[in-house]
Amino acid sequence: MAALEVSDFAQAVIDRMGECQDARFKQVMSALVKYAHAFMREVDLTPEEWMAGIQFLTETGKKCDDKRQEFILLSDTLGISMLIVALDQARGAKALAGRPGEKPTEATVQGPFFWPGAPQLELGADIGQGYGEPTLYYGRVTDTGGRPVAGCELDVWSGDEHGFYDMQKGNEMHLRAQFRTDQDGNYRFWSIKPTFYPVPGDGPVGRMLDKMGRHLNRPGHMHMMLNAPGHERLITHIFVKDSPYLDSDAVFGVRNSLIVDFPRHPPGRAPDGRVLEQPYYTAHYDFRLVPSA
């Protein structure tokens, strides 16, 4: 570029915020502009590529409606949603800085299928009847120091044996409920062993993934949200250990610490006393919550 210098337009934009009254907004916008320009300079983006980007963003916006959020799907599939989750959990866990042995359960993405107001059921209830293979979920909720968390609200939700969530099929709740841990922090409930399923692939994000050489699938998982007074909220999944796509989750949500064995058992008496006439699975997982700062 002997004949023409490419000016520092990023700095010019940042300098234009002298009258900005919101210090945090100014900080975020300054960094956004700095990194966006650095990206385009590094790849020497052409006008045709820029226009393809404009058209992609426009189409992504047009695809959004009450039921579909294509920009969140974009964020998910570019690993951005998981980055935001991890940054948020790291901030919440700063109270543990002086306690190196105390590690909380890792968070992962909430996803688009949380539905507030699920039925509040007794421990041990079965929310999977009429769906896939029965599975007993059980374990204990403690804080990072090992103290039991009694009365912790535990929201659980998953897709059915074909990978479809209730809200994708109609207006009736299925395969979701809210439980409360007992005096010792224990929980247990019956549902199904979840299967893998694809994120929506019929929009611009689907085309992007195809061009990236990627598939659309998420490995099988049970969603869990834990709320207890005096503790940071935890939103996470339990992943099924033998599920396909564990090493290539389309939204990068898998953490090794969340992968759980789902041993299969012959018909008979399950650990909670229930007698089953068909084979069933068990999934054991203990949660560790961060005490609020």
Q: Which of residues 141-160 bind its own copies (CB under 8 A)?
A: 144
Binding window for its own copies (CB under 8 A); candidates: 28-36, 151-159, 161-169, 273-281: 28-36
Applying CB under 8 A, the site for its own copies has a residue count of 87
- Write out the DSSP string of 83-146: HHHHHHHHHHGGGGTT-TT--PPPP----TT--SS--B--TT-BS-TTSSSEEEEEEEEEETTS
Binding window for its own copies (CB under 8 A); candidates: 42-50, 149-157, 162-170, 268-276: 42-50
Shortest Å, Cβ 239 to its own copies: 15
Q: Considering beta carbons, is residue 110 or 186 the nearer one to its own copies?
A: 110
Binding window for its own copies (CB under 8 A); candidates: 22-30, 158-166, 192-200, 264-272: 22-30
Residue 170 is a binding residue for its own copies (CB under 8 A): no
Residue 25 is a binding residue for its own copies (CB under 8 A): yes
Shortest Å, Cβ 95 to its own copies: 9
Shortest Å, Cβ 127 to its own copies: 28
Q: Is 239 buried (19+), middle (13-18) or exposed (0-12) by CB count in 10 A?
A: buried
Residue 293 is a binding residue for its own copies (CB under 8 A): no
Residue 89 is a binding residue for its own copies (CB under 8 A): yes
Shortest Å, Cβ 58 to its own copies: 5
Site for its own copies in 250-279 (CB under 8 A): 252
Among 23, 38, 201, 239, binds its own copies (CB under 8 A): 38
Strands 134-143, 280-284: pairing kind:
parallel
The binding track of 189-218 with respect to its own copies, each residue x by CB under 8 A or -, is ----------------------xxxx----
Contact 205, 70 (CB under 8 A): yes
Task: Output the 3-class SS for 188-247.
Answer: EEEEECCCCEECCCCCHHHHHHHHHCCCCEECCEEEEEEECCCECCEEEEEEECCCCCCC
> What is the C-alpha separation between 150 and 106, in angstroms, rounded?
20
Among 60, 135, 217, 282, binds its own copies (CB under 8 A): 60
Burial track 196-225 (b if 16+ CB lie within 10 A, e otherwise): bbebbeebbbbebbeeeeeebbbbbbbbbb
Residue 115 is a binding residue for its own copies (CB under 8 A): no
> What is the C-alpha separation between 181 and 187, in angstroms, rounded?
5
Shortest Å, Cβ 224 to its own copies: 18
> What is the C-alpha separation between 147 and 150, in angstroms, rounded?
9
Shortest Å, Cβ 277 to its own copies: 43
